[in-house]
């Protein structure tokens, strides 16, 4: 039984994002990292491997620079590295999901782990979409997973709080941040990872048909400048301010 | 805010992927483990044991050494490790410098096969801590006149004497000690349980407060015959260790300077006086631009020296110049940064006064600033000026 | 062009976002039908103006949440070229899974919808806005409270369908909520107190508010240094934690430069301080000049009213 983990390379969450010519300026991004929720998926995938899964396959889809996240995964224990190289600056969900699901089929893994959403788009479409295409079960917002006989036992953040669930058969789990501590790679891992080959393949090698895109990026823009601070007198203004937090700032 | 390391000349682009990854591992560790805890460690005057364990787990000790469980990295990677550690605190970098360059290195280069097997893997993993005994209370810049001596008593060596200013001394499991045997300087490995050996801690430092500094005292200390380093005689032994450590310092100082620069820049941008951020004032900009200029030069120096270390074309005087220049510039930047921070600069809210106090030690240890000048003076003129004798 | 809205349930009834979904899609035209998974809120959905049909899909599979089982159960009744859900965790999963099953593209968490169809959404944690053009058919999830809800007064027909669908995700137990307090560095909302709180025991009032909105409680260095009861782990600022929550509420904190260094990158800052000259107001998006004693009870009351909406 193999475990696949899907990793997306994103600008580090602390990186400055600037927009120039209606596109986010990628060249100004100084640090690219594995999307944080994917790191939790990776950590759990390593734990599953340590508790008996056969092989840990790390898969990423993206431009050449994205191979770095596979090397990072290898440094902490991934066995096999698959990079579907594409230079597209925007792919609709159908394209991404069909690429990833055919790469998973190629890896022959029946447990797939990924982050609940990527830190750049914050969408959360990939996990459930890929599970649908593969015909796998899907469990979202998982914080911990363990192998329990033939079944997976997982803790997920359900609508009413944390719950422990069991899932059998082929499945895809999306990860939230949990209590699990991420391991940091060490020098030995990095040196071994350097020697690990990356299966670098083009979309055409997957034997899938990519139709014309049905969603396209029209523009990026900077968020509107925040209005200057507003000051209110007295506790009587709290109702008004709370209303603004909801409707103006949209933070509660 | 993410740490944005000053890299004005994009030296990052000259690194290998592997060097960058190693740098990031150390950087993240410093961010997570050192920065939030360093002030407490300084206040208590301790080097937390978990730092030792975690540095060991990262696998960065004895970075450029090959075999015997050592990482076998490039000197550039070793430099990067020192830089990131010292961006946290010079004391943390000192721990790694002493362990790797001053203790593992001489065992690796001058030790017997048995000594290498016995100590190196457990030192690389951080399980064993080492210290280096060269300086004595009365012999600092002039180690050749050391008083510590070893006598061959047939079945064992007998050591007598004292060493001072020894980083890691009290927490060390073993010490590489330099002593005169029949008038010739030799290296000996002393283990902490050896009879007649004590390592009392020196208290009351205003600098490197999170680093342990000790005396090593040998009173009829008996050590087995197989603990002498067989392959080196004279000052070449300790000096070759110091070359490696000084190389690491030349990188480390850049890390401390980067930390002070960042703090000054952020502070200057957010501190409002006379209705404007102080960063908008010309005198402050002049200071910031001087810092950027000096750090950039120091980075280029350290990087190029790393390349020369890797291809073996270096000479010790080049290391002297890099150590001297980079520590001097880092100390000046720390002082200038403190100045920009105004009164806030003396608080432990900011790293600058800590770096400044640390760098006063760094300027003095591993060859004082002035001694490095004399080394260069001798190189230029061919005339040594260390001593009055011909 | 027909719109299918998959309703969101909250507390065993219809979540108000469902009316917002109807409101959002009404500008597009076409027939709007609402599918209520598990039948929850179907009668309320029928009363939203503009809804032409409510399909209440019921069955054992809806007893607990299994994304694929739910999607497979409702899939046969999705007859339209625009599928919409809320952008809650479950809403996103359902829209993505349905979209994949129907070979539709999906765009999540949209905040505006124009003809065409072009949608905009915030990316990079709000550091940029992305405008995406989508061709129909497609699926969209919509951020709550960004569209005007449709009004009441509708009277749509409700069709109840019983389905039987195999589930593969079994809920074994509900786990007690970890009693641990949220860490300031992780929380999406942080409420911090300073020395202006007067006494460390008064932080309990901040905890009351925090509980209401799922916030973490932080403190200024002045508070941490003054009172042993306030641990360093709560400290926000230069030597404490650097936080970037969506909302930072500073109570009784004057705003020393060291404190600002740890929180000024928060997306929104609400400051409550009785001193109108306190520097914290210089970085606040919303400032209230008042004592904490007057403000905190009112804050709690109004926040809890908003949260239970």
Per residue in C239-293, pLDDT tens?
888 888 899 999 999 999 999 989 988 989 999 999 999 999 999 999 999 999 9
**Does C154 share its domain with C273?**
no
A173-202 residues touching B, CB cutoff 8 A: 184-188, 190-191, 194
Q: Mean pLDDT in chain A?
A: 92
Residue A12 sits at the chain B interface (C-beta within 8 Å): yes
**Does C155 share its domain with C268?**
no
Per residue in B296-339, pLDDT tens?
999 999 999 999 999 999 999 999 999 999 999 999 999 999 99
Which pLDDT does position B111 carry in this prediction?
97
Q: Closest residue of B to C283, CA-based?
A: B270
Per residue in A82-138, pLDDT tens?
999 998 888 999 999 999 999 999 999 999 999 999 998 889 999 999 999 999 999
C154 within a domain of the structure (yes/no): yes
Do the Cβ atoms of C190 and C209 come closer than 8 Å? no
Which pLDDT does position B58 carry in this prediction?
97
Which pLDDT does position C309 carry in this prediction?
63
Q: Which domain holds residue C292?
A: 189-307
> Of the residues C123, C146, C162, which one is the last residue of a structural domain?
C162
Omega before C62 within 30 of 0, i.e. cis: no
> Between the CA of residue B301 and those of A2, B254, B306, what are the distances in Å?
49, 10, 9
Per residue in A156-202, pLDDT tens?
988 778 899 999 889 999 999 888 889 889 999 999 999 999 999 99
Which pLDDT does position B236 carry in this prediction?
95
Distance to chain A for B309, nearest Cα, Å: 20
Phi, psi of C295 (to 5 degrees): -80, -40
Q: Which residue has the higher pLDDT, C126 or A214?
A: A214
**Does C18 share its domain with C150?**
yes
C283 within a domain of the structure (yes/no): yes
SS (H, E, C) A40-95: HHHHHHHHHHHCCCCEEEEEEEECHHHHHHHHHHHHCCCCEEEEEECCCCCCCHHH
- How many other CB atoms are there within 10 angstroms of residue C11's CB atom? 11
C22 within a domain of the structure (yes/no): yes
C179 within a domain of the structure (yes/no): no
Distance, CA of B158 to CA of B176 (rounded, Å): 15
> Between the CA of residue B298 and those of A38, B9, B256, C297, what are the distances in Å?
38, 11, 12, 57
- How many other CB atoms are there within 10 angstroms of residue B381's CB atom? 9
Task: Name the packing angle between helices B352-364 and B236-270 (round to 10°).
Answer: 160
DSSP for C26-62 reads HTT-S-EEEEEETTTTHHHHHTSTT--EEEEEE-GGG
Q: Closest residue of C to A97, CA-based?
A: C100
C-beta atoms of C221 and B271 within 8 A: no
Specify the 3-state DSSP secondary structure of C216. Answer: strand
Q: Closest residue of C to A10, CA-based?
A: C124
C-beta atoms of C171 and A230 within 8 A: no
Terminal alpha carbon distance of chain C: 32
Which is nearest to C126 in space by CA: B26, B177, A222, A137? A222
C-beta atoms of B1 and A15 within 8 A: no
Residue B354 sits at the chain C interface (C-beta within 8 Å): no
Specify the 3-state DSSP secondary structure of B146. Answer: coil
C-beta atoms of B271 and C257 within 8 A: yes
Considering the entire predicted model, what is its pTM? 0.89
In this prediction, what percent of chain A has a pLDDT beyond 70?
Answer: 100
Distance, CA of B225 to CA of C45 (rounded, Å): 90
Per residue in C199-236, pLDDT tens?
999 999 999 999 888 899 999 999 999 999 999 889 99
Sequence ranges of chain B with CATH classification 2.40.110.10? 130-227
C170 within a domain of the structure (yes/no): no
User: Exposed/middle/buried for B35, CB within 10 Å: 0-12, 13-18, 19+?
Assistant: middle
**Does C62 share its domain with C17?**
yes
Distance to chain A for B157, nearest Cα, Å: 38
Which CATH number does the domain housing residue C239 bear? 3.40.50.1220
Strands A230-233 vs B130-133: parallel, antiparallel or unpaired? unpaired
Tell me which chains share at least 3 CB pairs under 8 Å with chain C: A, B
Strands A19-20 vs C189-193: parallel, antiparallel or unpaired? unpaired
> Between the CA of residue C135 and those of A129, A208, C105, C118, what are the distances in Å?
18, 21, 8, 9
* Mean pLDDT calculated for residue range C89-99: 96
DSSP A237: G
A141-170 residues touching C, CB cutoff 8 A: 141, 153, 155, 157-169
Which is nearest to B80 in space by CA: B58, B103, B110? B58
Specify the 3-state DSSP secondary structure of A114. Answer: strand
Architecture of the CATH domain B236-381? Up-down Bundle (1.20)
C168 within a domain of the structure (yes/no): no
Residue B266 sits at the chain C interface (C-beta within 8 Å): yes
**Does C99 share its domain with C151?**
yes
What CATH code is assigned to B11-124? 1.10.540.10
**Does C148 share its domain with C29?**
yes
Residue B89 sits at the chain C interface (C-beta within 8 Å): no
Task: Name the packing angle between helices B282-311 and B236-270 (round to 10°).
Answer: 150
> Between the CA of residue A241 and those of A234, C169, C246, C253, what are the distances in Å?
11, 43, 15, 18
**Does C148 share its domain with C11?**
yes
In this prediction, what percent of chain C has a pLDDT beyond 70?
Answer: 97
Question: What domains, with CATH codes, occur in chain A?
Answer: 2-206 (3.40.50.620)
Task: Please identify every residue of B annotated as catalytic.
Answer: 366
C-beta atoms of B348 and C237 within 8 A: no
Which pLDDT does position C289 carry in this prediction?
96
Residues of C in contact with B267 (CB under 8 A): 257
**Does C26 share its domain with C109?**
yes
Question: How is residue B181 written in tokens?
Answer: 């045997």
Per residue in C10-64, pLDDT tens?
778 899 899 999 999 887 778 999 999 999 999 999 999 999 999 999 999 999 9
Which is nearest to B358 in space by CA: B232, B220, B278, B257? B257
Question: How is residue A164 written in tokens?
Answer: 């422990």
Distance, CA of C74 to CA of C71 (rounded, Å): 5
* Mean pLDDT calculated for residue range C143-148: 85
In this prediction, what percent of chain C has a pLDDT beyond 90?
Answer: 69
Q: Give the helix/strand (H/E) hosting B159.
A: strand B156-167
C62 within a domain of the structure (yes/no): yes
> Between the CA of residue A101 and those of A59, A94, A202, what are the distances in Å?
10, 10, 14
pLDDT at B135 over 80: yes
Where helices occur in chain B by DSSP H, the ranges are 17-29, 38-44, 49-58, 75-88, 90-97, 105-110, 113-124, 236-270, 282-311, 316-340, 352-364, 369-381
Which CATH number does the domain housing residue C144 bear? 3.40.50.620
pLDDT at C178 over 60: no
Per residue in B160-170, pLDDT tens?
999 999 999 99
Tally of domains in chain C: 2
C-beta atoms of C294 and A220 within 8 A: no
Sequence ranges of chain B with CATH classification 1.20.140.10? 236-381
Which is nearest to C251 in space by CA: C271, C268, C274, C277? C271
User: Helix (H) and strand (E) counts for chain A?
Assistant: 6, 15
- How many other CB atoms are there within 10 angstroms of residue B72's CB atom? 15
Sorting pLDDT into bands at 50, 70 and 90, what band is B200? very high
Phi, psi of A64 (to 5 degrees): -50, -40
C277 within a domain of the structure (yes/no): yes
What CATH code is assigned to B130-227? 2.40.110.10
Tell me which chains share at least 3 CB pairs under 8 Å with chain B: A, C
**Does C55 share its domain with C157?**
yes
C-beta atoms of B1 and C237 within 8 A: no
């Amino acid at each position: 039984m193999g475990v696949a983990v899907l990793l997306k390379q994103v600008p580090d969450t602390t990186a400055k994002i600037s927009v120039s010519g209606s596109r986010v300026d990628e060249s100004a991004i100084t640090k690219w990292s594995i999307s944080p929720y994917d790191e939790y998926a990776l950590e759990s995938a390593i734990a599953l491997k340590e508790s008996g899964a056969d092989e840990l396959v790390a898969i990423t889809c993206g431009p050449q620079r994205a191979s770095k996240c596979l090397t990072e995964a290898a440094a902490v224990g991934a066995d096999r590295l698959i990079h579907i190289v594409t230079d597209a600056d925007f792919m609709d969900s159908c394209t991404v999901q069909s690429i990833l699901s055919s790469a998973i089929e190629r890896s022959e893994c029946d447990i797939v782990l990924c982050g609940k959403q990527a830190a750049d788009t914050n969408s959360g479409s990939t996990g459930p979409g890929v599970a649908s295409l593969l015909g796998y079960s899907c469990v979202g917002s998982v914080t911990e997973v363990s192998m329990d006989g033939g079944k997976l036992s997982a803790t997920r953040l359900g609508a009413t709080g944390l719950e422990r669930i069991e899932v059998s058969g082929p499945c895809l789990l999306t990860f939230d941040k949990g209590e699990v501590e991420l391991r940091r790679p060490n020098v030995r891992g990095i040196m071994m990872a350097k020697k690990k080959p990356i299966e670098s393949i083009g979309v055409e090698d997957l034997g899938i048909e990519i139709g014309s895109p049905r969603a396209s990026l029209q523009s990026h823009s900077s968020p509107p400048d925040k209005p200057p601070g507003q000051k209110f007198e007295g506790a009587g203004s709290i109702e008004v301010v709370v209303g603004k937090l909801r409707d103006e700032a949209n933070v509660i | 805010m993410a740490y944005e390391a000053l890299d004005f000349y994009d030296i990052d682009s000259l690194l290998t992927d592997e060097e960058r990854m190693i740098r990031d591992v150390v950087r993240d560790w410093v961010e997570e483990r050192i920065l939030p805890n360093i002030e407490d460690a300084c206040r208590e005057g301790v080097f937390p044991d978990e730092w030792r364990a975690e540095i060991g787990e990262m696998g960065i000790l004895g970075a450029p050494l090959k075999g015997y469980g050592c990482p076998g990295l490039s000197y550039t990677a070793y430099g990067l490790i020192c830089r990131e550690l010292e961006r946290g605190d010079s004391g943390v970098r000192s721990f790694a410098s002493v362990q790797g360059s001053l203790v593992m290195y001489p065992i690796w280069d001058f030790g017997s096969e048995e000594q290498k097997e016995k100590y190196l893997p457990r030192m690389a993993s951080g399980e064993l801590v080492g210290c280096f005994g060269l300086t004595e209370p009365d012999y600092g810049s002039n180690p050749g006149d050391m008083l510590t001596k070893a006598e061959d008593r047939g079945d064992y060596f007998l050591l007598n004497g004292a060493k001072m200013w020894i980083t890691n001394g009290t927490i060390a499991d073993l010490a590489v000690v330099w002593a005169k045997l029949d008038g010739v300087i030799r290296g000996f490995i002393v283990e902490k349980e050896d009879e007649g050996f004590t390592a009392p801690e020196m208290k009351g430092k205003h600098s490197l407060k999170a680093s342990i500094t000790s005396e090593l005292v040998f009173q009829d200390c008996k050590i087995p015959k197989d603990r002498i380093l067989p392959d080196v005689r004279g000052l070449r032994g300790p000096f070759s260790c110091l070359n490696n450590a000084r190389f690491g310092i030349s990188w480390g100082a850049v890390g401390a300077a980067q930390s002070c620069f960042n703090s000054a820049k952020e502070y200057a941008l957010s501190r409002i006086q006379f209705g404007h951020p102080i960063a908008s004032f010309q005198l402050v900009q002049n200071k910031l631009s001087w810092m950027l200029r000096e750090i950039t030069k120091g980075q280029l120096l350290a990087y190029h020296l790393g390349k020369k270390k890797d291809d073996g074309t270096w000479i010790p005087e080049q290391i002297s110049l890099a150590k001297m220049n980079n520590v001097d510039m880092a100390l000046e930047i720390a002082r200038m940064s403190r100045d920009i921070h105004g009164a806030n600069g003396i608080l432990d809210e900011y790293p600058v006064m800590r770096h400044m106090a640390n760098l006063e030690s760094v300027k003095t240890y591993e060859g004082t600033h002035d001694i490095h000048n004399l080394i260069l003076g001798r190189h230029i003129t061919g005339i040594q000026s260390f001593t009055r004798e011909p | 062009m027909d719109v299918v809205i998959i309703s969101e349930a909250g507390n065993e009834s219809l979540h108000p976002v469902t009316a917002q979904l109807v409101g959002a899609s009404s500008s597009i035209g076409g027939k709007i039908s609402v599918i209520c998974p598990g039948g929850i809120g179907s009668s309320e959905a029928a009363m939203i103006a503009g809804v032409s049909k409510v399909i209440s899909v019921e069955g054992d599979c809806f007893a607990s949440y299994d994304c694929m089982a739910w999607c497979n159960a409702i899939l046969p009744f999705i007859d339209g070229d625009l599928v919409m859900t809320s952008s809650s965790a479950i809403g996103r999963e359902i829209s993505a899974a349905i979209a994949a099953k129907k070979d539709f593209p999906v765009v999540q968490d949209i905040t505006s919808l124009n003809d065409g169809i072009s949608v905009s959404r915030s990316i990079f944690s709000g550091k940029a806005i992305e405008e995406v053009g989508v061709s129909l058919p497609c699926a969209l999830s919509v951020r709550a409270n960004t569209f005007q809800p449709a009004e009441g007064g509708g009277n749509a027909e409700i069709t109840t369908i019983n389905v039987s669908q195999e589930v593969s995700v079994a809920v074994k137990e509900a786990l007690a909520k970890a009693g641990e307090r949220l860490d300031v560095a992780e929380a999406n909302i942080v409420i911090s107190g300073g020395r202006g709180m007067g006494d460390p025991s008064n932080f309990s009032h901040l905890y009351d508010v925090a509980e209401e909105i799922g916030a973490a409680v932080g403190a200024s260095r002045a508070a941490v240094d003054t009172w042993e009861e306030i641990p360093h782990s709560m400290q926000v600022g230069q030597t404490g934690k650097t936080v970037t929550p969506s909302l930072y509420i500073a109570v009784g904190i004057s705003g020393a430069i060291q404190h600002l260094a740890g929180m000024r990158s928060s997306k929104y800052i609400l400051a409550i301080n009785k001193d109108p000259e306190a520097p914290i107001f210089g970085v606040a998006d919303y400032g209230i000049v008042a004592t904490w004693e007057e403000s905190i009870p009112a804050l709690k009351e109004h926040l809890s009213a908003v949260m239970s909406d």
